[in-house]
Structure 1
Amino acid sequence: MKLRNGLLLVGVLLVVLLAACSGGNEESAGSESKAGGDSSEGEKVLNFLSPEVIPAMDPSLATDETSFVTLAATMEGLYRLDENAEPVGGMATDHEVSEDGLTWTFNLREDAKWSNGDPVTAHDFVYAWQRAVNPDTGSEYGPYMMNGVIKNATAISTGELPVEDLGVTAEDDYTLVVELENPTAYFESLTTFGTFYPLNQAFVEEQGDNFATSSETLLSNGPYSIEEWTSTSNSWELAKNDSYWDAETVQMDKITFEVVKDPTTAVQLYEEGTVDRADLTSDLVDQYSTHEDYLVSPDTFVYFIKFNQTANEALANTNIRAAISKAFDKEALVSEILNNGSLVANGLIPADFTPMPDSGEDFRAVSGDLVTYDLEAAQEHWEAGLEELGTDSVSLELLADDDETTKLMVEYIANQLNTNLPGLELNIKQVPKEQRLDLDTSMNYEVQISRWGPDFLDPFTYMNLWTTDSGNNMMGYSNPEYDALVEATATELATDNVARYENFLEAEKILFEDAAIAPIYQSSRAQLVSPKVEGVNVNPFGGTYEYKWANIKE
């Protein structure tokens, strides 16, 4: 995630394949933390940390993990994910699907209200979805999630049709009808995602440009409301939303968040009992791996290097990109620098993410290692690239987030590349994540450390990033053969899952033959988690954490 153009998910069972990404609760046996518990006012409170401010609370504009996690806590779509990552009733009580799979009719609950008392209606979904795909909104996820899925979304997002032609209508206040471009068996799960949340049109238009910039300019229809927050806040609170239709299920009165970028500070706060969860960097893993609250959770985020082929003549050269892709030791990175259970990534689709529909074998195992550390091959590519460019040196800037873990990683990668590729000068530029996302969107970078977490359990969520017109591409990469293979999985092959996966296998190979991106690693989270914390679900796609069922063990 940061998580855009066309999408189809067909014949994929919503089964979580990673044990630690199975939507299980974040629980740990061990000593009791002093943080979570009753406050002096008798409230049930959990205290967590965030490595960054919230980049966006506008569902149409959100593109990153932190934003989607917070949106999932404060808002609710037609469905939401339960502890097993299965869709359960949200604003919708149930739905019907036409025989051809193209028309979905959702029946909405009549007791759902916005935090200002307004009812949540089908019209709120129509407005929000039209707004997300409207080119005037500037949404990246709207076109990504809807193009090729919702009828007419592609033509609307490119300005060829008015937003009113989008295949979503309110039959009445509590009946939403959605028309799809192609049969999409996974569409129910897709409706749990943040881009598909409803919006109160009157409120949004009343706020104008101030919408979603502070607690006062937001409405909630989910388990919590966000309090004490502005777009630059380093702290905020999730407060139980008494207007939520299922408020009696919500056990926490409050969940607080504080931005702490330094892992050592985070651990100190945990040890003091100030917070209930702390992420660990490699040096801290060695220190705390035997701690009774220590927990490692593998996930499906894949980190990679993006090459902006439009920003630098050298980056438009396939040999230069291939050289960089193969010139740093990823095994040393995950074992020594990260040291948190992360895995080397030698392809795009993560390990243990999705099985082949015919054999059940893991996609990653079938596709194999496509980009490995190979210094000899890297230097051959480098020399060939320099010769093609008619130069003996290349200077590039590496863009990355400014958190401590990323700092260690980029310093390592830059050192490896500058050492292993004679004539390369790679300079580091670290900025807050929100700024990096803006620079990515405007393609104002040369080389960038980025990552992607899946929005649904299908290879399309990764493969569609790099089609020519994808809003995630943002690096000038284009291969018509790749485009055709990926787009066919959402059209003529929509109901043939075996053929779809064969296309994905072929397309992934093309992506790395072109050295479009350089895979780095598949992440894991090493944390200290208070044994008092229960009911915080970890999702395999979408917002990482689900706080609706959060509670404190007695």
Structure 2
Amino acid sequence: MKTKKWLLLLAFGLVLSVLAACSGDESKKSSGTKTDEKAEGKVLNFLNPESIPSMDPSLATDESSFVNLAATMEGLYRLDEKTQSSPGVASSHKVSEDGLTWTFTLREDAKWSNGDPVTAHDFVYAWQRAVDPATGSEYGPYMMSGVIKNASAISKGELAVDQLGVKADGDFTLVVELENATPYFETLTTFGTFFPLNKKFVEEKGDSFATNSENLLSNGPYTISNWSSTSDSWELVKNEDYWDAKTVKMDKLTFKVVKDPQTALDLYEEGTVDRMDLTSDLVDQYSTSDDYVVSAETFSYFLKFNQTTSDALANKNIRAAISRAFDKDALVGEILNNGSIASNGLIPTDFTPMPETGEDFRKVSGDLVQYDLKAAKEFWAKGLEELGTNSVELEFLADDDKTTKNLVEYVANQLSTNLEGLKVTIKQVPKEQRLDLDSNMDYQMQLSRWGPDFLDPFTFMNLWTTDSGNNWTGYSNPEYDKLVSDTASTFATDAKARYENFLKAEKVLFEDAAIAPVYQSSRAQLVSPKVKGVFVNPFGATYEYKWADVGNE
């Protein structure tokens, strides 16, 4: 079953365009000299805002991890330069008439970087490992429950892992049984959680697996070198054992963690790196540069409220007040200044159209939570009365980069100013630590985000169901659960009914003030004209590096 074309119509706005030639300004130098390029081959140098939290496909949960996993590994399919599913380890597949059985034919020339063939058994092992409760994967149960047969029961410890609906029919045929017909399943197979794993290698490495370069195997375009879990730099090196190595033009991609925007700018201007993210104070200065580019994204940023660690946040009126008490238009226009837009719902703008009319989902669903100071104060007063207090103290958790620092300081100031009696204390930590605090529910309020894993509203809506592996808020509503669940079961093949349920569920989510929408991101960058063939995906790994190349300036 091929993914419906309408699911992919919006990818065009999210592809990183080929950049115009440099104007010849001598102050803008390319990274690396010709001597360097002859010595090292084709090399591009990039920055990253944080260290890679995990290179274990079963445990990865964040953007940096999935970007590097996508560069070094490959699933049954991968997204191509047009954001469509292209052959990966699978060369083809067939789907039964009822849509429940998918049979994948695997290529016989796919290899691991140690020379072992990539087989159907590697997929069976990896998928079982991802839903095994002993693994502790967040994404395995989230991505597979309700999709792969028995995944939900296995993740709850009710069935053995060998009951998962995936089996090898010989070395190069993989048979997958679905719980329900899933229109977007082909796109799911491009995602990191569904990558294969070499069982012998993983079990030999034990607790050391995926902790550094020496304890990793690759089956994708690149291998990773000079990396450990605490590294602030690493390289992606062309994988000569990759089945499609002839397509990979780059010999090496280097990455360096830099959190300070001025340091990043200095590195770019001296030609040491080929791409950098611009903060709001730099956008106006460089918006007329030939190297300036803005990429629209489908990341939704929101405030998460932990209802289990704060009596105040367990109160719906308090959450509703906070959701409406900060000016999002000023935030994106003044604090971010990078093309991001204020968000008044969960599903991003220009992400997916309604199945019958083609109208954008966000437009149809409308503005559900807007900045409204009068309403915020009314909700606040009700909440304080219900709590029997006139003051509330909250800790606000966020990442420790400068852009986030400016953003959370703005939001905290707005909340403290607009809601009398509210004191907000900011806690900024490295991203990996924030993710740990999040999954352990050791926070009160935090700035978080979600980037879609596949091109369907379910990737956002399933986050907040009671049993979701990513719902670390304490939020639970049976009505919301049923609305979302029915989109994957009762209405799995009825596109109109599915989307009507999504519309209803989104309204319930914000009537409950489960989260507070903040903004939908865009990325303003300086990108060297030499960078070619690096694409921005609307879902899954943000960057696709397989087709990267160095062009003439």
TM above 0.5, one fold?
yes
Aligned match for 1:34, one of 16, 27, 30 = 30
Q: Distance in 1 between matches of 2:9 and 2:430?
A: 32
| Residue 212 (structure 1) shift | 0.2
Q: Distance in 2 between matches of 1:237 and 1:66?
A: 14
1:295 aligned residue:
293
For residues 392-541 of structure 1, what are the structure 2 equivalents within 5 Å?
392-541=390-539
* Paired residues of 2:76 and 2:89 also in contact (CA < 8 A): yes
1:335-377: CA deviations, max 9, x gaps? 0010001000000011111111111111111111000001111
1:66 aligned residue:
64
1:330 aligned residue:
328
1:303-359: CA deviations, max 9, x gaps? 000000000100000010000000000000000010001000000011111111111
| Residue 29 (structure 1) shift | 3.4
Q: Identity over aligned residues, as a percent?
A: 73
1:3 aligned residue:
none
* Paired residues of 1:10 and 1:495 also in contact (CA < 8 A): no
Q: Distance in 2 between matches of 1:355 and 1:138?
A: 35
1:4 aligned residue:
none
Aligned match for 2:378, one of 362, 369, 380 = 380
Please give the TM-score of this superposition, normalised by the length of structure 2: 0.97
Contiguous gaps of at least 5 residues in structure 1 = 1-8
Q: Give 3-state SS (helix, strand or coil) of 1:315's partner.
A: coil
* Paired residues of 1:10 and 1:497 also in contact (CA < 8 A): no
- Paired AA for residue 242 in structure 2: Y
Closer, same or farther: CA 85–19 of 1 in aligned 2, 3 Å? closer
* Paired residues of 2:132 and 2:154 also in contact (CA < 8 A): yes
For residues 118-137 of structure 1, what are the structure 2 equivalents within 5 Å?
118-137=116-135
* Paired residues of 1:288 and 1:294 also in contact (CA < 8 A): yes
Q: Distance in 2 between matches of 1:159 and 1:150?
A: 16
| Residue 264 (structure 1) shift | 1.3
Higher RCO, 1 vs 2 (CA within 8 Å, ≥6 residues apart): 1
* Paired residues of 1:455 and 1:461 also in contact (CA < 8 A): yes
* Paired residues of 1:16 and 1:85 also in contact (CA < 8 A): no
Please give the TM-score of this superposition, normalised by the length of structure 1: 0.97
* Paired residues of 1:149 and 1:180 also in contact (CA < 8 A): yes
Q: Distance in 1 between matches of 2:322 and 2:18?
A: 38
Q: Distance in 1 between matches of 2:281 and 2:57?
A: 36
* Paired residues of 2:7 and 2:456 also in contact (CA < 8 A): no
Contiguous gaps of at least 5 residues in structure 2 = none
Q: Give 3-state SS (helix, strand or coil) of 2:313's partner.
A: helix
Q: Distance in 1 between matches of 2:343 and 2:242?
A: 41
Q: Give 3-state SS (helix, strand or coil) of 1:111's partner.
A: coil
- Paired AA for residue 78 in structure 2: R
Q: Give 3-state SS (helix, strand or coil) of 1:15's partner.
A: helix
Q: CA RMSD in A?
A: 1.3
Aligned match for 2:13, one of 20, 24, 28 = 20
1:404-454: CA deviations, max 9, x gaps? 110010000000001101100010000000100110000000001000001
| Residue 462 (structure 1) shift | 0.6
1:228 aligned residue:
226
Q: Distance in 2 between matches of 1:252 and 1:151?
A: 40
Q: Give 3-state SS (helix, strand or coil) of 2:504's partner.
A: helix
For residues 59-458 of structure 1, what are the structure 2 equivalents within 5 Å?
59-458=57-456
* Paired residues of 2:11 and 2:83 also in contact (CA < 8 A): no
The ranges of structure 1 where at least 4 consecutive aligned residues each deviate by more than 4 angstroms after the TM superposition are 9-12
Q: Give 3-state SS (helix, strand or coil) of 1:13's partner.
A: helix
Provide the aligned length of Structure 1 versus Structure 2.
545
Q: Distance in 1 between matches of 2:37 and 2:191?
A: 33
1:210-244: CA deviations, max 9, x gaps? 10000000000000000000000000000000111
* Paired residues of 1:11 and 1:495 also in contact (CA < 8 A): no
* Paired residues of 2:7 and 2:352 also in contact (CA < 8 A): no
Q: Distance in 1 between matches of 2:458 and 2:83?
A: 19
Q: Distance in 1 between matches of 2:40 and 2:329?
A: 49
1:6 aligned residue:
none
